[in-house]
Every structure is written in structure tokens, then in C-alpha cells.
Amino acid sequence: KLDRQDSGSLLKMIGEDIEALEVFFAHTIAPICTGILVALGLTVYFALSSWGLALLALVTYALLAIAIPNRFAQQLEPLLKEQNASRKGYVSYFIESLKSMKDLMQFQQTDARFAKLIQKSQEVNGQERKVAQTNFMQYAVSFLVVGLSIMCFAWLTFDLVGSQSLDLATGVALLVSFTSSFAPFLELSRLPLGFKRAMNAGRNIYALLDEKEAERTGDLVEVSVKDIAIEQLDFDYDDRETGLYRNLSVQFEQGGIIGLVGESGAGKSTLMKLIMRWYDWKQGQIRLSGLDSRQVDKAHLQGSFAYVPQVPQIFRQTIRENLVLGRTDVSDETIMDLAEKCHMKERILAAPQGLDTL
């Protein structure tokens, strides 16, 4: 489940997404129940004196709790998606910077890295500012509705008092009740921000938890791998629209070193994981010395491979830079002498630009 998860995404999931879900559910049920009970109770109370007052109150409550939140929720959704992506990228970049601090200091790249970090931080702050501005506009519209509704309610009430349909004491009691009844509905008007954040958090968490587990099939069979045959293999990840492999057939024979060449994301590491049955494929076969890999217990099969995952670094360096690590007192002759002792001299000389090859 953690194979294709970015460290920044996982940290955000643990530190923010789970909390967003917890806060939303802890502060959602009570305000909704309170709002429904208050709306029903006060509507009945106002209706006993005037159907016009009851209708005005009901419309006001519906605007505050339903119409306005839904309207601004549509504006918040794309902003929160952008904010979510920005925060993921920032956290990942920050974690990578921490892990690479030694290299950054060694190659005197700390200032450039911090400048980029500040730029990403400002981008995140800009997204949060847009969300805050939209949220502020919602509050402003909500309070405008509250003010206008109080004015209309007061006008209707005193009109009824003037026409002697209500006595003054009852009219004042109705007005005071109405003006003090907005708290539950203003609380509900704040839900869109929390709701959309909770929905994004839920998608992030369930995307990880709902990943389909590979089938546990096969027997504890000892396999001496002398050749690997991949026949008509079809595979793609669940979240991809187009297939990563289609009718892939390739044969790996024992002896020598085999290199897979391709751009990032082309599926080089994925092919190794399929051979070890990290994932199940749609159709085709992978045979290990003639034996279908699905006939071998997955855990036993994976334990038979020595798998060293690739860890991308932030620098793209020449062979010389990778060997001397910033030291200026190491000559090329010294490097080549050591390379000869390690049986690597021929490889370096065969490289397109020798020690200057990236």
C-alpha cells in the first residue's frame, strides 16, 4: 500500500487529513440537530402569532443553513483541491530538503534550496489566502442576510402591532426571539469549508486504505531462477486511464547484467515488482525457469529476490563529482588507480565523456 505513496502525502494524511475528518464529524451532528430543532420550534412559535413572521423566519433559516453554504461550497471545492495539491508538494519538498541537508551544505546549494522552499511556501499561503477570502465573503453575505431579515421582521412585527393584530409585549418578545435565534444557523453556514476539507481528506485516506490487495495464491515451491519469461503481459495501475503494459513479451537469460532504459514513469521498477508479484496483472504470464510465478507463494517468492529500490537524489552529477564528493585534492589519476583496483576503469573509459559523463 505504501509503494507508490509520497512521504509528503503520508505526513499530510497523518497530520492533517485524519484531524480534518475527526473535527468535521465531531462538530457536525450536533449543529445539524440543533438547527433543525430550533427552526421547527421557532417557526411554530412565530406561526401562532403570524404566518408571515413564520414564513420570513423559515426563509431566513433556509438561506443561512442551506442556500448560502451550498453556493459558496461550489466556489470552495476547486480552491481546496488546489490548496491540497500545493500543500502535498510543499511538504514533500520540505522533507526532501531535510534529508538532503548534508549534500546541500556540501555543494553550497542551501541558499538556492531555501529560496525555492520560500517560493513554494508563498504559493501555499496564496492558496490559503484565496480560501480565507472566499470564506470571509460567505460570512459577509450571511451577516447581510441576518441584518436584512431582522429589519424585515421588525417592520412586519410593528406593522402588526400598529394594526392591533399583536400587542406590544408579544411583538417585542417575537422580535427578541428572532434576533437571538441565528447562532445555530451561522454555525451551519461554516460547515462547507469543513465539509469540503473532510471530503478531500476522506478521498486521500480511502485511496490508500481501499487499494485492492493482490491475491494470496501459490505454494511454497523452491525456484532456482535461471531465466525469466514474460509473455503477452497486460498491466496498469488502478488509477490510470491507459495501460502501462500492453502485450509485453520479453525474455531474460541468466548471465551478464541486464539494464532497463526509459524515462521516469515508463515502468522500469514496476516490471521488477510484477516479477516479484507485488501486483496482479490483467492477463499474460510471467514464468520463472518455466514455472508460472502465480503458482509460487507470494511472500516466499519475494523473499527469494534481493531488491534494492531506487532513491532519487536532488543532484545530477558527473561520475567524478559522485566519486570525490566535493574534494578538490583528488586527481583524475588517483581516481583511475582506485577504479582499476575495483575493476571499474574499463567502464569509466567506455563512458561517452569519461569522468565527465553525467
pLDDT tens, residue by residue, 9-37 = 666 677 777 777 777 776 777 778 888 89
pLDDT at site 278 = 82
The answer to whether 282 and 232 are in contact (CB under 8 A) is: no
pLDDT at site 7 = 62
Q: Cα–Cα distances in Å, from 282 out to 198, 208, 296?
A: 34, 21, 18
The answer to whether 21 and 198 are in contact (CB under 8 A) is: yes
pLDDT at 155 over 60: yes
Joined together, the cell numbers standing for residue 143 give 451577516
DSSP for residue 167? -
DSSP for residue 213? P
Q: For the chain, how long is the longest CA-to-CA vector?
A: 110
**What distance in Å separates the CA atoms of residue 277 and residue 228, rounded to the nearest whole number?**
13
Alpha-helical runs (H) found in the chain: 7-12, 18-26, 29-47, 51-62, 68-99, 101-106, 110-162, 168-179, 183-189, 191-209, 268-275, 298-302, 319-324, 332-341, 345-350
Q: Cα–Cα distances in Å, from 96 out to 86, 90, 314, 344?
A: 15, 10, 8, 31
Q: Of the ranges 2-6, 62-66, 110-114, 354-358, which one carries the lowest mean pLDDT score?
A: 2-6
> Which pTM does this prediction carry?
0.57
pLDDT at 4 over 60: no
Which of residues 303 and 248 earns the better pLDDT score? 248
pLDDT at 2 over 60: no
Which of residues 72 and 314 earns the better pLDDT score? 72
pLDDT confidence tier of residue 5, bands split at 50, 70 and 90: low
pLDDT at 351 over 70: yes
CA 37 to chain centre: 37
pLDDT at 315 over 70: no
pLDDT at 152 over 70: yes
Interval 247-267 mean pLDDT: 81
pLDDT at 98 over 70: yes
β-pairing, 283-288 vs 245-253, is unpaired
Which of residues 149 and 244 earns the better pLDDT score? 149
The answer to whether 215 and 280 are in contact (CB under 8 A) is: yes
pLDDT at site 151 = 94
DSSP for residue 215? P
Tell me the Cα Rg of the chain.
33
Q: Of the ranges 16-30, 85-99, 203-217, which one carries the lowest mean pLDDT score?
A: 203-217
pLDDT confidence tier of residue 214, bands split at 50, 70 and 90: low
pLDDT at site 74 = 83
- pLDDT tens digits, 178-189: 998 888 888 877
Q: How many CB atoms lie within 10 A of CB 159?
A: 14
The answer to whether 249 and 231 are in contact (CB under 8 A) is: yes
pLDDT at site 217 = 63
The answer to whether 49 and 170 are in contact (CB under 8 A) is: yes
pLDDT at site 280 = 79
Which of residues 254 and 43 earns the better pLDDT score? 43
Interval 46-59 mean pLDDT: 90
- Mean residue pLDDT of the chain comes to 81
Q: Which of 129, 96, 131 is nearest to 113 (CA)?
A: 96
